[in-house]
Amino acid sequence: MKILFKNGKIVNVFTGMVEKADLLIEDALIIGLGGGLEEYADEVKDITGKYICPGFIDSHIHIESTMLTPGELARVCVPHGTTGIIADPHEIANVCGRNGIHYMLQASRNLPMSVYFMLPSCVPATKFDETGAVLQAKDLEPFYQNERVLGLGEMMNYPGTIAKDPEIMEKIRDAKKAGKITNGHAPMLSGYDLDKYIAAGIYDDHECSNLNEAKEKIRKGQKIMIRQGTAAKNLNGLIGLFEEPWCRHCMLATDDKHPIDLLENGHIDSIIRQAVAMGASAVTGIQMATLQAAEHFGLANLGAIAPGYQADFLILSDLDTVTVEEVYKTGKLVAGNGVVEPFDKPRADSDIWKAVRNSFLLDTVDASAFDLPEYVGKARIISALPGELITQECVEDINTKESGGIDLQRDILKIAVLERHMHSKHIGLGLIKGIGLKSGAIASSVSHDSHNLIVIGTNEEDMALVANHVRNNGGGLAVAKNGEILADLPLRLGGLMNSGTAEEVALMNENIRQKVGELGYKEGIEPFMNMAFVSLPVIPHLKITTKGLVDVDKQEIVSLFIE
């Protein structure tokens, strides 16, 4: 069946121009482009005044961070023009190991959106983490036989890479041997250390937060993924990359994005819209989101409107607002006017779900578990920053004899990370500012990348209450005040995902955000998303794990108290 889309305007991602042309497809392929093609068509669709562009590709996303299953994520993203994502399943792998990767591969088959994978490179991320599994090079190597596995995921252990750790180098060599690439993750890395990191075989980075950092990495041969997610919003700081020559070396990514943001604002289309509002070209954004992503990951004949390319394309009614009318995947209409065509998703009671359930091995928590030793003096305090995953270290005078070290006037709260995979009973305790809670406590089993139970609170009793509630739910988010649970969001699939619809999860997500709002939090802080990254000891500068405070720059455990 040959279908002709007539009188459209083609977004040519090779030239950066918008050209009037007809598009002819047959089954899954584009077979003609230009004029005089009507005689070859079995069916003609008139799209006068509308635009045709390739389907969008998210170059770096963690499905688990959306809290949705792969099928449900596809249902939400496809109407926004996303026809492919490059997913790194290191969240579920840190909880369930190889079983987590198998789950993701199986649960993402036969969707109206191609789901490709980069293998988790750092399980655990560092020696300071306690995870549910350890994945070595030999554990990952067999997965390269799967055609949807495109390489090795973000190499977060950049100190180990620079030092040529044998296990890390073996993982990178295996990816090269399979003809695959390795993703990067090196926030603020510069100079000769960056040179050594790139020379090890690291091809890109999605952690840039300022223009100078990104330009140095581009000059040294890396591709940059401009990230705009729920917590990390780097577009404003990197908008200059939409200019020549930098734009030719960039892609777009969401990394971590909550369902309510996907439903309200969109996906990759939203990033392009925001860039246009800042003065960038929509065509440049589309190039980043299509051809440049496909070429970087070795996806042949994908990401462009051209003969021989796969017929993954969009019909846009407006270019600058990226208004998606129809979405075609392998030549088939998969979404129109914001609604996805029906498709089969794995059932919640199928065998593939079994390996990612019941992931909590944690005793009931008592309020005394959050007590700090008696101390009066200076202490290291984690400082959260609005719109950033980077945290600063600040030094403040504290008195744990009074309110356990908590000081609401100075926005100093207590934070704890409890090991939940191996029943080690380890608890890391610290203090944090920049969150802004005035009462109560919040807890989550989403704490990158080890996904232990993380709690922030204004008092130990409410901290214990929310910790136990999340434990009893088998994972999720919860908020409490004065001994009462105000709201929760269960995540029983590995403590990371909910099997409900995006609308159901978003409703719970919004409810829990509102309840946290009643406790008070600072503008620009997304409490649960920001909290989730406070335990990731590969993003500067001060973080906390089950083993205590980590100085990320020095890669060492440091004391809370400064004697």
| Interval 488-503: pLDDT, tens | 999 999 999 999 999 9
85 and 221 part of one domain: yes
pLDDT in tens, 45-71: 999 999 999 999 999 999 999 999 999
Q: Tell me which residue range forms the domain holding 480.
A: 367-562
Q: What is the pLDDT of residue 62?
A: 96
Mean pLDDT, residues 249-276:
96
Query: Is residue 106, in this structure, part of any structural domain at all?
Result: yes
- Give the C-alpha separation, 259 to 266, whole Å: 10
Does residue 495 fall inside a structural domain?
A: yes
d(CA 337, CA 239): 29
The residue type found at 260 is: I
Same domain, 295 and 385: no
Does residue 205 sit in the same domain as residue 88? Answer: yes
Assess if residue 268 is contained within a domain.
yes
Average pLDDT (108-115) is 96
Confidence of residue 350 (pLDDT cuts 50, 70, 90): low
pLDDT at 456 over 90: yes
Strand partners of residue 33: 23
Last residue of a domain, one of 299, 320, 339: 299
Tell me what pLDDT residue 135 has.
Answer: 97
Q: Are residues 135 and 231 in the same domain?
A: yes
Closest alpha carbon to 34 in 46, 21, 45: 21
Does the pLDDT value for residue 352 go beyond 80?
no
Q: Are residues 244 and 372 in the same domain?
A: no
The distance of Cα 214 from the centroid of its chain, to the nearest Å, equals: 19
Higher pLDDT, 299 or 232: 299
Residues 262 and 377 in one domain: no
Look at residue 385 in the predicted model and tell me its pLDDT: 87
Q: What is the mean pLDDT of the chain?
A: 94
For 477: left if phi > 0, alpha if psi spans -120 to 50, otherwise beta; the answer is: beta
Q: Check whether residue 210 and residue 72 sit in a common domain.
A: yes
> Could you say which DSSP state residue 243 is in?
S
Query: Domain boundary at 283, 299, 315, which?
Result: 299
Record the pTM.
Answer: 0.92
Which CATH number covers residue 92?
3.20.20.140
Q: Quote the pLDDT of residue 498.
A: 94
> Which tokens in the block code for residue 508?
């719970």
Whether 288 maps to a domain, the answer reads yes
Q: What is the sign, positive or negative, of the torsion defined by CA atoms of 121, 126, 129, 130?
A: positive
Shared-domain flag, residues 270 and 174? yes
Evaluate whether residue 345 is within a structural domain: no
The average pLDDT across 80-107 equals 95
Beta strands 476-481 and 484-490 are: antiparallel
End of a domain among 281, 299, 317? Answer: 299
Q: Phi/psi at 67 (nearest 5 deg)?
A: 70, 10
Task: Indicate whether 250 pLDDT > 60.
Answer: yes
Per-residue confidence band for 280, with pLDDT thresholds at 50, 70 and 90 = very high
What is the rounded average pLDDT of the residues 18-36? 96
Q: Confirm whether 155 is domain-assigned.
A: yes
CA dist., res. 7 & res. 133, Å (int): 55
Residue among 84, 121, 75, 390 at smallest CA distance from 252:
84
Q: How far is CA 544 from the centre of its chain?
A: 20
**Is residue 245 situated within a structural domain?**
yes
In 222-374, which ranges are continuous DSSP H helix?
235-238, 259-265, 268-277, 282-289, 291-296
Residues 384 and 259 both lie in one domain: no
In-domain check, residue 102: yes
Q: Are residues 467 and 549 in the same domain?
A: yes
What's the pLDDT tens digit per position in 463-478?
999 999 999 999 999 9
Count of domains for the chain: 2
Instruction: Say if residue 84 is in the same domain as residue 210.
Output: yes
**Tokens 């089993």, located at residue:** 445
Going by pLDDT thresholds of 50, 70 and 90, the confidence category of residue 520 is confident
My answer on whether 415 and 292 are in the same domain is no
